[in-house]
Structure 1
Amino acid sequence: MKAPRVTDTTLRDGSHAMKHQFTREQVQQIVQALDAAGVPVIEVTHGDGLAGSSIQYGFSGTSEMDLIETARQSATRAKIAALLIPGIGTRQELREAAQRGVQVVRIATHCTEADISEQHFGLAKELGLETVGFLMMAHMRPPEFLAEQAALMESYGADCVYIVDSAGAMLPDDARARVRALKERLSIQVGFHAHNNLGLAIGNTLAAIEAGADQVDGCLRGLGAGAGNAPTELIAAVLDRLGINPGLDVFALMDAAEYVVAPIMPYQPIPDRDAITIGYAGVYSTFLLHARHIAAEFGLDPRELLVELGRRQAVAGQEDWILDVAVDLAQAKQRVA
């Protein structure tokens, strides 16, 4: 195994848990702590990426462009990254983010929709940015299919493509097989982004590294959506024990998690009942509240509704489908009765 590059996404994925209310002061403190600890890339944006601040996704307390600018001013060594989801963020926001100091853009699509990212990769290259592709909800498709999608991103100009376990649904063999498929197909780097819904964020990250992952992600204290992400300080400790520490200060990251991030966290993300259900079902966390309300109307357990949605491979944007699936399940129960 070789030492991977670690990107910390506390200030992006952690924005979900913070209801997108990070302040300039908090960004400055977190970036300075991560930078001093040797973290080479720090991601800063709304949880749903550039232009995510909206009634649909939740309004930011402080403009993400201001947070990006603060992050760039606070880092002495680390690169500042931003997430962009085509359809939410546009080329206009990408241009402004670059002007404010972003050096790396991570362009994220559903794992079947890499083709919608071509213009965004093209502009990012024109702006001189490092480019990373994100294949979200990657548990939903087999390794060979994902490799084809990743190859599209490579052809558009990606410098790296990530397998993204958005629902925290993967097991170590799933992570290993997907990363390996991309390593065999691509001539660029491969990354892995874990969530902890099944308690496997660190295990899956290690499996990805064993399969050759060049880049991995973490969040201080695991602060992220759902059950959170692989904790950056844990990644550092484990890599150090394995003898492949890429230059991270383990103690400094432990202190950053304990004394900088923990005091501002509204709660500690854990694999609780809801998070486990999302990982077990393999669906987006946005389905959870809808499933609860609709299941109550039909006398269903929301977990069985979510599992059925996962079986039918529902994706974000199909929340209206929950009602149809609930009707099907309720009718099936009536027939059995």
Structure 2
Amino acid sequence: MTRVQVVDTTMRDGANSFSHQFTTDQVSAIAAGLDHAGVKLIEVTHGDGLGGSSLQLGRAAHSDPEYITAAVKAVKDARIAVLYVPGIATLNDLAVAQECGAQAVRIAVHCTEADCAEQAVRWAREQGLEVLCFLMMSHMVEPEVLAQQAALLDSYGAHVVYTVDSAGALTPSGAAARVRAMRDRVSCEVGFHAHNNLGCAVGNTLAAIDEGATYVDGSLRGLGASAGNAATEVLVAALEREGHKTGINLFDLVDVAEDIVAPIMPRPQVIDATALTIGYAGVYGTFFLFAKRAAEKYGVDSREILLELGRRGVIGGQEDMIIDVAAELASKTGVRIGVGVRA
């Protein structure tokens, strides 16, 4: 069976569910636990990556260098990865992250904009970083189009190229088709990053592995944007049941999830009405809290906001559209601002 590299993103994607308020002590404890369990690659930054702490995207409790340093000091064997989104992060941010001890970077671009990653990929390779590239919102294009974009990232020097289901909109057949198309076009490794809005995160990941993915992502207790990610501990259990090798001690991993992460979670990671609608409408997972807040402020249904965002094809980086759509819906229905309805 396949040897699978499980990457944990609790302290990056999970920061979205925490409104980016992880403490450095929490980061240290989680990183140490993951390292002890045998997880070899751990992602740590603001939920929107390096440079993401802002009024628009949400202020973090600490700076990215502080988070990275806390994680690096806590681990013995694991490598610390950071997220880099062109247009949010700069190469200087990445250089600082490397100085703090980061050894890998995950460079994320929209699924049709691989060329936006070229500069960062080439620079990171020159600096000796492990480079993993994300094609976000991968459900929005057909598999062959996605594979063409993956081939560009491969040509720039990516070690791994990911199909990223940012909206949790894929089902197993769609996940498999995209990974298969990418596997046929690239010479580098292929990865898969799942969200659980349709309840398919672990199933999609298994389908991706069947088609050649060797890097897969999870977060402890599924902690992540909107409905969350594939739960790392559940994913590892499922992989072991399928006969895949991860090098991770399942019960040590479960202990980290139960004893460290569960007590600090602000809310259970469930598929509520808003999270489900994100997957159904195919909109970016980090819109979850923004849509809830806009629904409360403008007295409209968050589901209507998300469906309209989906119809307009709004993607990450266009968070201001959430307020615009909520205000438009409120004006059409004549509701009073501040009168909350279902969120």
- Listed one character per residue, the Cα deviations across residues 299-330 of structure 1 (whole Å, up to 9, x for unaligned) are xx543453243234222344565657986999
CA contact (8 A) 1:44 1:68 kept: yes
Distance in 2, Cα, partners of 1:313 & 1:117: 21
Tell me the distance in 2 between the aligned counterparts of 1:180 and 1:59.
Answer: 38
Quickly say closer, same or farther: Cα 1:265–1:326, change in 2 above 3 A.
Answer: closer
1:261-300 alignment runs, 5 A limit: 261-284=261-284, 285-286=286-287, 288-289=291-292, 292=295, 296=299
Contact 1:136 1:166 in 2 (8 A): yes
Q: Mean alpha-carbon deviation: is it higher for 146-155 or for 284-293? A: 284-293
- Contact 1:290–1:319 under 8 Å retained in 2: no
Q: One-letter code of the match for 1:200? A: C
**1:123: Cα distance to partner?**
1.3
Stretches of structure 2 that go unaligned for 5 or more consecutive residues are 333-343
Q: How does 1:122-141 map to 2 (within 5 A)?
A: 122-141=122-141
Partner of 1:208: 208
Q: 3-state SS of the aligned residue for 1:32?
A: helix
Is this contact kept in 2: 1:37–1:252, CA < 8 A?
yes
Match of 2:29 in 1: 29
Change (3 A) 1:324 1:104: closer
Aligned-partner residue type, residue 168 of structure 1: G
Q: Does 1:111 align with 2:114?
A: no
Contact (CA 8 Å) 1:110, 1:136: kept in 2 or not? yes
- Residues 87-145 of structure 1: CA deviation (Å, up to 9, x unaligned): 00000000000010011100001111111111111110121100011001111111101
Contact 1:309 1:325 in 2 (8 A): no
CA distance in 2, matches of 1:159, 1:200: 26
Give the AA of the match of 1:48.
Answer: D
Q: Is the 8 A contact 2:308 2:325 kept in 1?
A: no
The corresponding residue for 1:335 is none
SS at match of 1:101: coil
Deviation of 1:289 after TM superposition, in Å, equals: 4.0
* Distance in 2, Cα, partners of 1:124 & 1:63: 21
CA distance in 1, matches of 2:214, 2:117: 22
Q: 315-324 or 204-213, which moves further after superposition?
A: 315-324
Describe the shift of the 1:295–1:140 C-alpha distance in structure 2 as closer, same or farther (beyond 3 A): farther
**Identity of matched residues, %:** 55
Superposition deviation, residue 24 in structure 1: 1.9
Match of 2:218 in 1: 218
- AA at the equivalent of 1:282: G
Matched, 1:236 2:227: no
CA separation of 1:320 and 1:25: change in aligned 2, threshold 3 A: closer
> Does 304-313 or 64-73 show the bigger shift?
304-313
Name the amino acid aligned to 2:248: L
- Measured on the aligned residues, the alpha-carbon RMSD in Å equals 2.2
DSSP-derived class of the 2:134 partner: strand
Quick check: 2:121–2:131 contact (8 Å CA) kept in 1? yes
Shift of residue 21, structure 1, vs aligned partner: 1.6
* Structure 1 stretch displaced more, 188-197 or 283-292: 283-292
Comparing 306-315 with 212-221, greater Cα deviation is found at: 306-315
Q: Compared with structure 1, are the counterparts of its residues 100 and 328 closer, same or farther at alpha carbon in structure 2 (3 Å cutoff)?
A: closer
d(CA) in 2 for partners of 1:20, 1:175: 29
Task: Output the CA distance in 2 between the equivalents of 1:138 and 1:103.
Answer: 26
Gaps of 5+ in 1: 332-337
- Cα distance in structure 1, aligned partners of 2:2 and 2:84: 28
In structure 1, what is the equivalent of residue 246 of structure 2? 246
CA distance in 2, matches of 1:304, 1:53: 28
Aligned match of 2:163? 163
Match of residue 340 from structure 2? none
Structure 1 distance, partners of 2:293, 2:69, is 36
The AA in structure 2 aligned to 1:7 is: V
Which residue of structure 2 lines up, in the alignment, with residue 255 of structure 1? 255
Displacement of 1:191 in angstroms is 0.3
Per the alignment, residue 9 of structure 1 pairs with 9
| Contact 1:52–1:58 (8 Å) recurs in 2 | yes
Hey, what does 1:85 align to over in structure 2?
85
- 1:24 to 1:293, Cα distance in 2 relative to 1, 3 A: closer
For 2:19, the aligned partner's letter is K
Range with greater deviation from structure 2 (164-173 or 319-328): 319-328
Distance 1:325 1:165 in 2: 25
Q: Deviations over 1:192-240 (max 9, x none)?
A: 0001111111111111111110100000111111011101100111111
What is the letter of the counterpart of residue 131 of structure 1?
V
- CA separation of 1:72 and 1:203: change in aligned 2, threshold 3 A: same
Give, in angstroms, the shift of residue 78 of structure 1: 0.8
C-alpha distance after superposition, 1:235-285 (max 9, x if no partner)? 111111112132110111111100011111111111111100111100124
Quote how far apart the aligned CAs of 1:288 are: 2.2
TM-score (norm 2): 0.90
| Cα distance, 1:56 vs structure 2 | 1.1
